[in-house]
């Protein structure tokens, strides 16, 4: 298995980066859709249904598959010999950030269900503030992996 992981490393890393980019795009866009949904659309009507369709498709067709792929290829990278030095701090900061990113993904999925049920209580301002979470986590992850200052 180790020989396979070593041989597949360039492709595993490539597919991981592609999956992460797709996941991040969704994590940036879904809360922004929530902002417009709250501030410009309200509940009921055709536009509300349109926003719910866009939010559902973004989550189910892009975000969920790309999150799963990010995790699968990420675990494959972790299992590849020589890729991660667990004695360093950077893999732990990255891991904590990935868990936080996964929590944020689930939080967004729960907020989508609030819109579907007509029970959303959050404001556009609250969604705008939450929209900054993936950016902050992205910064921690990229600095941890590339610069490795820790």
Q: Give the CB-side neighbour count of residue 60, counting CA atoms within 13 A.
A: 8
Q: Please give the structure tokens belonging to residue 149.
A: 């200052």
Helices (H), the chain: 2-36, 45-57, 64-79, 90-117, 124-130, 133-142
Do residues 112 and 59 touch, judged by C-beta distance below 8 A? yes
Task: Note the pLDDT tens digit of each residue in 9-41.
Answer: 999 999 999 999 999 999 999 999 999 999 999
Instruction: pLDDT band for 43, please (50, 70, 90 cuts).
Output: confident
- Indicate if the pLDDT at residue 116 is higher than 80: yes
- The two tokens of residue 147 are 């610069």
Mean pLDDT confidence for 140-146: 95
Cβ atoms of 53 and 17 within 8 Å: the answer is no
Residue 83: which domain range? 2-147
Query: What is the SS3 assignment for 112?
Result: helix
Q: How far is CA 29 from CA 78, 86, 91, 105, in A?
A: 28, 33, 27, 12
- Taking CA atoms, 10 is separated from 3, 17, 31, 94, in Å, by 13, 11, 33, 20
pLDDT of residue 8: 96
- The tally of domains found in the chain comes to 1
Q: Is the pLDDT at 42 greater than 80, yes or no?
A: no
Assign 112 a pLDDT band (cuts: 50, 70, 90): very high
The pLDDT-based confidence of 73 (bands split at 50, 70, 90) is very high
Best CA proximity match to 125, nearest among 50, 26, 31, 27: 31
Q: For position 44, what pLDDT does the model report?
A: 86
Sign of CA dihedral 10, 15, 20, 25: positive
Q: How confident is the model at residue 60 (pLDDT cuts 50, 70, 90)?
A: very high
pLDDT greater than 80 at residue 150: no
């Amino acid at each position: 298995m180790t020989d396979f992981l070593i041989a597949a490393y360039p492709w595993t890393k490539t597919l991981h980066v592609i999956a992460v980019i797709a996941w991040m795009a969704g994590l940036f866009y879904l809360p922004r859709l929530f902002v417009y949904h709250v501030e410009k659309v309200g509940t009921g009507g055709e536009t509300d249904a349109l926003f719910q369709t866009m939010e559902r498709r973004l989550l189910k067709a892009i975000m969920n598959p790309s999150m799963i792929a990010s995790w699968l290829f990420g675990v494959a990278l972790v299992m590849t010999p020589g890729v991660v030095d667990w004695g360093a701090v950077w893999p732990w900061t990255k891991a904590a950030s990935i868990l936080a990113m996964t929590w944020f993904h689930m939080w967004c999925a729960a907020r989508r269900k609030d819109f579907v049920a007509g029970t959303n209580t959050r404001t556009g301002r609250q969604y705008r503030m939450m929209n900054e979470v993936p950016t902050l986590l992205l910064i921690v992850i990229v600095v941890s992996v590339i610069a490795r200052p820790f």
